[in-house]
Chain A
């Protein structure tokens, strides 16, 4: 290796003489990092998404390989965020791939002291049973003057601000048809 090539391998030299005066790109690369490929380049697919935290609505690109999320980056096309994400948005991949995420149904029986496992279908049927029973036990047909009430005050629900419009729509539609009025979400808080 000649002296000139040897000097040119110094990041500082390349930073001072090349096109990367801040030393945050090409100048900082080593022989090894030159050979690396970004996860975003090898992804099987990219989903156009939106950050799930606050309501600014920053664009996200979700990179997927082998059915797993491998990276989430800001979407430079977004006129709202122009590719930027804040510390929370930038941690979105850690959010969706967190080892602390619950992936199975857990059940605590009345007066129980520990969680138990439960099959999802069983849970769905048990919840349906309880909803119908609570509704029947607390149903109100009419008020004192005979005007319709058509409702139950035995069931409550809280949540929606983190959910999709389509989800909120179905929640309100189903609860309204059941006569369950007491639906609320973070917008009240």
Chain B
């Protein structure tokens, strides 16, 4: 079975979808859950329409169904998850606290996680300050968790202890009944039961089910908890680490996985090492210990080697044991330096210069007006792109020109547009959505002044280092000592991408021999490597990412096509595909197993386990690091080696997923008194006005729910499709899909115009009346949803208003991703007004929905009105 939720896979990832169809042909059931009926729904066995922003209520319903009927894969759950682990007696659940967990601190709206810990406090590492973690997106920065937990836990493998995770889970999800799912999500109970029954029936020893999501899950103020909820189901049903199982994140850009692994992100260094924080990581040792948590089990125990290797790759010969490998050169975070904080700082005049590298925030980021006003208040802006994008021409073409908010003659931003090389005009590797690196050969030279980013940054660094060559200032040492000698070739002195890949892979400093595995990394400076999880991509001096053995000439796992991190493993945690004794769970689902004769793990994939660690291995007392992982602990990055149904630390908005309403919702939370995520990241800024939601007054001014997503023919902010004539011709216009019922209610006509209004903006679109979007009965009333594509802007062959202008800025607390899949709006017939009239319209809506001052609801909802199911204790 394949469950697709928060993703329109058939239209947004069409070629990947061939495998869903292949599975369906072989008998797999396909379920699609989405606010809108799409081509994915059309070929699914079942489609469940859902109110945008309520997925946790549905998934929680599935979890309750599994637990109530004891349909979990018990042997897997007991052995491989933390179901049996006992939690401290101080823990209080949302059941007890009206939708909050224990440890909530009102003054900084964040959780003290100490009451969430496993029993045996002396085992536990004191959690870091969680407000700092939110500001620095540190909640999940070690990717597969790695958050601190004590090594030796107390367990009740009968799962009967009232404080074991299994029982906590049961109680936490007890109110997520089929009736409640219907009431919150608008999904009829029989549809819900069809999903729950199929999911459980198609999981276990003989069968597995896969869960597929995309940004329909991540772009929410509780996005991380959506994915946690999906992961809980997959763990309870034994679908993790097994073929045909897993939680599949379909990412939307050619190397968005790569740009997270080798990050251009403020809070991360390559390989998910944290960017240093001024108070928490003043010294090298404190930085390393915050990653490896001395005494803790798992592969993060070797973090000192990963850190030393990165610093050696950065600063080469200058990095020595005596100077802590130049750790002192690293810039330090003091709080939130994320893209939305940056934009607000631009509006406030705190930022001087901005680089845009193949990204177009004027269209692609939430609150487009804030983006453009920010760019109009810089000293300088460098745009590197293939096309003249909206973010390069805001000073003459933005909607704010017409309203008078940006006046070219008064806008001081100096703009440099530098043309970029396309994907066929340079060589290098992309990391696709399954962590697979694929190398691209260069086909032709880039035209004219177009250059690769590799060229631009190598030469920018070269010029800057030449300027500073005679500097004696301490602050310039980090630039002057930087290892920045890459061989160049060709008429434009293009740096060698392979030499950069070699540095990312890592090498023995004395001999230059490329490392084959991160297990070869030393913490004494004798090896250097820029991204430990990528070590092996250049093993034996061979560019493994360039391997192209035809799929038809190898097994289905295709280990000789490209290279997947880590260590070319195609399914993570695949130790779980075998039972605790190392035997396949079934012949049908055989994947990786223990060969007792050879005393090694073997199988179709590279085993995600120490090759010679027997299933019977038990760590000696007080062991730590890799040695602390038992032979039947498949989740080797976790401090307890277990899959986490319950997260005792590391997730900033709760150890378990809980349904909160979107920040903008027409509905009072039917489950709890608490309306929205109490730990969400909020920006208080005059530009960031929010629409009111219950129990605040006047939410009826914005009565409709809107959501946005992709078209097959366009790509994100549109630069790579609205400038390409065949694609522009196929989808030439901005439109909005509305139901026949809403069209009748609001006087909209098919192919006529409508405009949508929020407290930020009004955008216009052609009307497409269709029953692809359907009104839902939610908590006793009808909720109308509308859908828009978000690709349009004011440049290119085809233009239109930008849907992202409608959104305000509120973020998930763990990863600082914005809620841009759901908001509230009004829908009106006709085109939007222009110029001053447009500003007046938006101001009028703000006035009618409260007052002109931005109003933020309190983080903790105290109003008990309408919160009928959450009875006072």
Which chain A residue shows the least CB distance to B453?
A167
Task: Tell me whether A149 and B334 are in contact (CB under 8 A).
Answer: yes
Task: Say yes or no for B250: interface residue by CB 8 A criterion.
Answer: yes
CB distance from B59 to the nearest CB of A (A): 24
| In the bound complex, CA of A87 to CA of B724 (Å) | 11
| In the bound complex, CA of A28 to CA of B549 (Å) | 34
| In the bound complex, CA of A187 to CA of B266 (Å) | 11
With A103-B448, A113-B396, A141-B475 known as contacts, the answer to whether A188 contacts B501 (CB < 8 A) is no
Task: Say yes or no for B385: interface residue by CB 8 A criterion.
Answer: yes
Task: Tell me whether A150 and B259 are in contact (CB under 8 A).
Answer: no
Q: Which of B218-260 contact A (CB under 8 A)?
A: 219, 250-260
Task: Say yes or no for B97: interface residue by CB 8 A criterion.
Answer: no
Contact of B723 among A100, A125, A184 (CB under 8 A): A100
Instruction: Fill in one digit per residue for B819-844: 1 if any A CB lies within 8 Å of its CB, else 0.
Output: 01000000000000000000000000
Contact of B497 among A92, A102, A164, A185 (CB under 8 A): A164
Contact of A106 among B15, B410, B417, B433 (CB under 8 A): B417
Provide the residues of chain A in CB contact with B463, threshold 8 Å. Answer: 124-125, 128
Provide the residues of chain B in CB contact with A107, threshold 8 Å. Answer: 414-417
CB distance from B133 to the nearest CB of A (A): 16
CB distance from A62 to the nearest CB of B (A): 4
Task: Say yes or no for B426: interface residue by CB 8 A criterion.
Answer: yes
With A94-B726, A159-B358, A172-B264 known as contacts, the answer to whether A154 contacts B278 (CB < 8 A) is no
Count A interface residues, CB 8 Å. Answer: 113
Task: Tell me whether B712 and A164 are in contact (CB under 8 A).
Answer: no
Provide the residues of chain A in CB contact with B252, threshold 8 Å. Answer: 54-55, 186
Provide the residues of chain B in CB contact with A85, threshold 8 Å. Answer: 15
Provide the residues of chain A in CB contact with B352, threshold 8 Å. Answer: 130, 134, 137-138, 154-155
Task: Say yes or no for B423: interface residue by CB 8 A criterion.
Answer: yes
Task: Tell me whether A184 and B338 are in contact (CB under 8 A).
Answer: yes
Instruction: Fill in one digit per residue for A84-106: 1 if any B CB lies within 8 Å of its CB, else 0.
Output: 11111101101110101111111
Task: Say yes or no for A1: interface residue by CB 8 A criterion.
Answer: no
Provide the residues of chain A in CB contact with B339, threshold 8 Å. Answer: 156, 158, 184, 188-189
Task: Say yes or no for B542: interface residue by CB 8 A criterion.
Answer: no
Task: Tell me whether B414 and A110 are in contact (CB under 8 A).
Answer: yes
Task: Tell me whether B417 and A163 are in contact (CB under 8 A).
Answer: no
With A47-B442, A50-B440, A131-B464 known as contacts, the answer to whether A79 contacts B331 (CB < 8 A) is no
With A172-B262, A174-B460 known as contacts, the answer to whether A179 contacts B478 (CB < 8 A) is yes
Provide the residues of chain B in CB contact with A76, threshold 8 Å. Answer: 550
Provide the residues of chain A in CB contact with B409, threshold 8 Å. Answer: 111, 113
| In the bound complex, CA of A172 to CA of B262 (Å) | 8
Task: Tell me whether B436 and A49 are in contact (CB under 8 A).
Answer: no
| In the bound complex, CA of A173 to CA of B310 (Å) | 10
Task: Tell me whether B467 and A105 are in contact (CB under 8 A).
Answer: no
Instruction: Fill in one digit per residue for B434-459: 1 if any A CB lies within 8 Å of its CB, else 0.
Output: 10111111111101111111100111
A-B contact count (CB 8 A): 482
Provide the residues of chain A in CB contact with B333, threshold 8 Å. Answer: 181
Task: Say yes or no for A68: interface residue by CB 8 A criterion.
Answer: yes
CB distance from A125 to the nearest CB of B (A): 7
| In the bound complex, CA of A112 to CA of B550 (Å) | 54
Instruction: Fill in one digit per residue for A51-69: 1 if any B CB lies within 8 Å of its CB, else 0.
Output: 1111111110010100111
Which chain A residue shows the least CB distance to B496?
A166
Task: Tell me whether A45 and B433 are in contact (CB under 8 A).
Answer: no
Which chain A residue shows the least CB distance to B559?
A79
Task: Tell me whether A53 and B338 are in contact (CB under 8 A).
Answer: no
With A98-B724, A157-B355, A183-B264 known as contacts, the answer to whether A64 contacts B713 (CB < 8 A) is no
Task: Tell me whether B254 and A162 are in contact (CB under 8 A).
Answer: yes
Task: Tell me whether B357 and A171 are in contact (CB under 8 A).
Answer: yes
Task: Say yes or no for A123: interface residue by CB 8 A criterion.
Answer: yes
Task: Tell me whether B278 and A149 are in contact (CB under 8 A).
Answer: yes
CB distance from B10 to the nearest CB of A (A): 10
Provide the residues of chain B in CB contact with A96, threshold 8 Å. Answer: 422-425
Contact of A181 among B257, B266, B385, B482 (CB under 8 A): B266
Task: Tell me whether A69 and B338 are in contact (CB under 8 A).
Answer: no
Interface stretch (choices B359-367, B579-587, B658-666, B700-708): B359-367
Which chain A residue shows the least CB distance to B479?
A177
Provide the residues of chain B in CB contact with A48, threshold 8 Å. Answer: 439-441, 546, 548
Task: Tell me whether A160 and B355 are in contact (CB under 8 A).
Answer: no
| In the bound complex, CA of A41 to CA of B436 (Å) | 30
Instruction: Fill in one digit per residue for A114-134: 1 if any B CB lies within 8 Å of its CB, else 0.
Output: 010010100111111011101
Contact of B350 among A51, A59, A153 (CB under 8 A): A153
Provide the residues of chain B in CB contact with A6, threshold 8 Å. Answer: none
Task: Say yes or no for A148: interface residue by CB 8 A criterion.
Answer: yes
Task: Say yes or no for A27: interface residue by CB 8 A criterion.
Answer: no
Provide the residues of chain A in CB contact with B818, threshold 8 Å. Answer: 189
Task: Say yes or no for B18: interface residue by CB 8 A criterion.
Answer: yes
Task: Tell me whether B443 and A165 are in contact (CB under 8 A).
Answer: no
Task: Say yes or no for B744: interface residue by CB 8 A criterion.
Answer: no
Task: Tell me whether A179 and B712 are in contact (CB under 8 A).
Answer: no
With A130-B380, A156-B342, A164-B426 known as contacts, the answer to whether A53 contacts B715 (CB < 8 A) is yes
| In the bound complex, CA of A141 to CA of B726 (Å) | 52
- A-B contacts besides A55-B13, A77-B550, 5 pairs, CB < 8 Å: A50-B430, A56-B13, A127-B416, A151-B331, A158-B339
**24 contacts across the A-B interface (CB closer than 8 A):** A52-B422, A52-B720, A54-B715, A57-B432, A62-B441, A69-B424, A88-B720, A96-B425, A100-B796, A101-B723, A107-B415, A124-B459, A128-B463, A134-B380, A150-B330, A158-B354, A159-B264, A162-B253, A168-B255, A177-B461, A186-B252, A186-B716, A188-B817, A189-B364
5 closest Cβ pairs, A-B complex: A79-B551, A57-B432, A164-B428, A159-B357, A103-B448
